[in-house]
Amino acid sequence: MAAATAVLRNKGISITPYPDDLLIKASSPVEAQRSLQSSMTTLQDLGWCINLAKSSLVPSQSMVFLGMQFDSQAQRVSLPHSKALHLQSLVRSLLSKPLHTVRFYMRVLGVMVSTIEAVPFAQCYLRELQRNILSAWKQKSLHMEISLTHQARVSLSWWLQVDHLVAGKPLGEPSQNNAKMGHARGGSYGDKAKPKGAKLLRQVPGPPGIGGRRSNIPLGFSPRLRFSSSSSPPQDHKKAPDGAHYTHPHSAQVASLHLVFRPRRPIGGGALDPTSAAGPSISRPNTAPKPSQPQLDSVALETRILKQKGLSDAVVHTMRAPRKPVSARTYHRVWATYQGWCNQNDADFETLSVPHILEFLQNGLSMGLSLGSQGQSQVSALSILFQQRLALLPDVKTFLQGVAHVAPPFRTPSPTWDLIAVLQALQRPPFEPLASIPLQWLTWKTVFLLAIASARRVSELSALSCKAPFLVFHHDRAVLRTVPPFLPKVVSTFHLNQEITVPTFCPTPSNPKEVALHSLDPVRALKFYLHRVHEFRKSDSLFVLFSGPGQGAPATKASISRWIKQAIQRAYSAQGQTPPLGIKAHSTRGMSTSWAFRNQASAEQLCKAATWTSVHSFIKFYQFDTFGADDTRFGRKVLQAAVEAHT
């Protein structure tokens, strides 16, 4: 293949090889077609057989190559959703039993390693599993059964969040393989220990990847590869021997080529020329060729569906507005998955067929999808596609009832952590004194106290501002409002205009006990935080990134969620305790309202603080009987949990 690749590159074709796959890149459909025809002719002349059934011969800006989803328009490489679900099912299997064979551990670890080039932080969250294997396995038998350590279970829980797996990475991002990591008892897969700071966790050729196909080349193709969304041709060209222009395959200009397009597997089975059969070939099962499908344009599809009802563009735009971007992405992903399933099963994508839908749902169930994923995400998305309430159809309703029995929607017991223990830790080093502790610890503490004292969602905390009138300090409280562009989970007058009132706590301490309790004052922490980040702040957002190249930029919802979890985990660690499993940032809402109720906050205070229009939500999840007055009392009722630790 190396010789064939050299010949193709000398012809001016930009190509990325794999032992039995070729990826052709071009700046326009015309150039792509020309490169394809030239490549096919050259390969046949060299004695290769092309397997048309397993090749993708239609230009596309989004394509699965070597088990990864490449999107040249979005400039990202990501894990296909189906592969993410497969990996999650393996992780669930690993967590479901106390013992597994080393062989199964290796299988799961191999799949994780295969995702490194497309899943951010994948290396960080497979290290504990690697340590687990190396510490327990005596390298005698792969049939030996070993158990998971607590640390490994904590790391494995990260892989159960599908958003972590499909987020993707920018094309050409420097590989995490080059990150400096500590070694796991002798390094990767039991290699000899390397010096501290050595570059570890490079791709290991041993375990197979997802589907048994893992690339030995970085999926960015070159250290700085980018796919431009522009269709302009590359500028820095060199002359080929025949006078044609071509781009050096490892130069920066290769990055500007944007049309991804793949003869997916060279090439065995359906040969174009019988005389070439004597040459080298790669034998694969032969299937009837199917035409490749273009990438699904979900926005255009939905617009067309609505316009078929006789609606104008303005009406269509307004009707699509209520759906949040995250919901739209979920629906579009389901549509694309359903289209792929239809293509594989010779079904009509745009024709409503209940049997086909049920088979599609069954396929998801067999891959480990839950009732929530199928009932709320897939059925809801397909209902929009077919403009019909599918969940009300008798067969679909019966199927979803069956899913509830086959895969019961068990809810993890909540809360999983102790508020008193966390508040105790926040009163002492390393969370005090606020004037001198590292900024990251101050950030963790401030975000946690604000979340627990307000019972607000992370999305609301990320939409707060440090400027008046969205933040006003009073002598006994701070009053915050979300900025106007923010839309809450429920868009109503009640939810849009709710103030977040955070109380002071023991503002004038007169004894050591009150001094300790005053260290939990969220208003005090907020003032310290604003002072510490003022020098590098680049945004009016209340919370900003405290380090890194993005220092001073607005903190995302993901960052704030991570900070809340870090505060809880570090609080446990500071007291020599092991953090519990399954900590979620959203659990602060249930924890704060539960403790406020326990300290006899009124139903009105609970609902207003948590932006519930009625007590139904709290009754449903936390079960209480209502009581019967002001805004600041809610936060104080929560923080009174710390008082119990002093009694």
**Pair (129, 166) in one structural domain:** yes
Question: Of 183, 212, 241, at which residue does a domain stop?
Answer: 212
d(CA 86, CA 211): 10
Structure confidence at residue 232 (pLDDT):
37
Structure confidence at residue 633 (pLDDT):
58
Structure confidence at residue 480 (pLDDT):
92
Question: Residue 285 domain-assigned?
Answer: no
The residue ranking higher by pLDDT, 556 or 412, is 556
**Pair (243, 356) in one structural domain:** no
Residue 65 has pLDDT above 70, yes or no: yes
Question: Do the Cβ atoms of 69 and 77 come closer than 8 Å?
Answer: yes
DSSP H or E segment with residue 52: none
pLDDT tens for residues 419-451?
888 988 999 999 999 999 999 999 999 999 998
Structure confidence at residue 636 (pLDDT):
60
Residue 15's nearest CA partner among 36, 45, 30 is: 36
Question: Residue 28 domain-assigned?
Answer: yes
**Pair (528, 429) in one structural domain:** yes
pLDDT tens for residues 274-321?
333 333 333 334 444 444 445 677 778 888 888 888 889 888 888 877
Tokens of 607: 């609902």
Residue 183 has pLDDT above 90, yes or no: no
Residue 130's nearest CA partner among 157, 118, 148, 117 is: 148
Tokens of 230: 């522009």
User: How does residue 166 score in pLDDT terms, banded at 50, 70 and 90?
Assistant: confident
Task: Please name the residue that has the structure tokens 């735009």.
Answer: 317
**Pair (543, 631) in one structural domain:** yes
Q: What is the pTM of this model?
A: 0.46
Question: Residue 588 domain-assigned?
Answer: yes
d(CA 105, CA 300): 44
The residue ranking higher by pLDDT, 366 or 504, is 504
d(CA 213, CA 20): 11
**Pair (49, 89) in one structural domain:** no
**Pair (183, 245) in one structural domain:** no
Containing structural domain, residue 313: 298-406
Structure confidence at residue 93 (pLDDT):
86
Max avg pLDDT among 243-252, 440-449, 477-486, 514-523? 440-449
What average pLDDT does this structure show over 265-271?
Answer: 35
- Angle formed at CA 465 by CA 431 and CA 485, multiple of 5 degrees: 140
Question: Residue 130 domain-assigned?
Answer: yes
Question: Do the Cβ atoms of 56 and 292 come closer than 8 Å?
Answer: yes
Question: Residue 571 domain-assigned?
Answer: yes
Question: Residue 292 domain-assigned?
Answer: no
pLDDT tens for residues 41-58?
887 777 777 776 667 767
Burial of 30 (0-12, 13-18, 19+ CB in 10 A): exposed
The residue ranking higher by pLDDT, 268 or 156, is 156
Question: Do the Cβ atoms of 567 and 444 come closer than 8 Å?
Answer: yes
User: How does residue 411 score in pLDDT terms, banded at 50, 70 and 90?
Assistant: low
Amino acid at 122: A
Mean pLDDT of the chain: 72
What average pLDDT does this structure show over 618-622?
Answer: 39
Structure confidence at residue 646 (pLDDT):
55
**Pair (30, 90) in one structural domain:** no
Question: Of 406, 435, 454, at which residue does a domain stop?
Answer: 406
Burial of 185 (0-12, 13-18, 19+ CB in 10 A): exposed
Q: The domain spanning residue 595 has which CATH number? A: 1.10.443.10
User: How does residue 628 score in pLDDT terms, banded at 50, 70 and 90?
Assistant: very low
pLDDT tens for residues 461-486?
999 999 999 999 999 899 998 888 77
- Could you give the C-alpha distances from 394 to 148, 349, 356, 377, 391, in angstroms and in order? 43, 21, 15, 18, 8
**Pair (397, 520) in one structural domain:** no
**Pair (22, 156) in one structural domain:** no
d(CA 86, CA 470): 45
**Pair (383, 333) in one structural domain:** yes
Q: The domain spanning residue 368 has which CATH number? A: 1.10.150.130
Measured from the Cβ of residue 468, the count of other Cβ atoms closer than 10 Å reads 8
**Pair (235, 194) in one structural domain:** no
- Could you give the C-alpha distances from 524 to 528, 568, 606, in angstroms and in order? 6, 19, 23
Query: Which strands make up the sheet holding 259-261, listed edge to edge?
Result: 14-18, 21-26, 259-261
Measured from the Cβ of residue 171, the count of other Cβ atoms closer than 10 Å reads 21
Question: Residue 223 domain-assigned?
Answer: no
Question: Residue 293 domain-assigned?
Answer: no
User: How does residue 10 score in pLDDT terms, banded at 50, 70 and 90?
Assistant: confident
Counted domains in the chain: 4
Q: Is 428 helix (H, G, I), strand (E, B) or coil?
A: coil
Question: Do the Cβ atoms of 108 and 180 come closer than 8 Å?
Answer: no
**Pair (386, 447) in one structural domain:** no
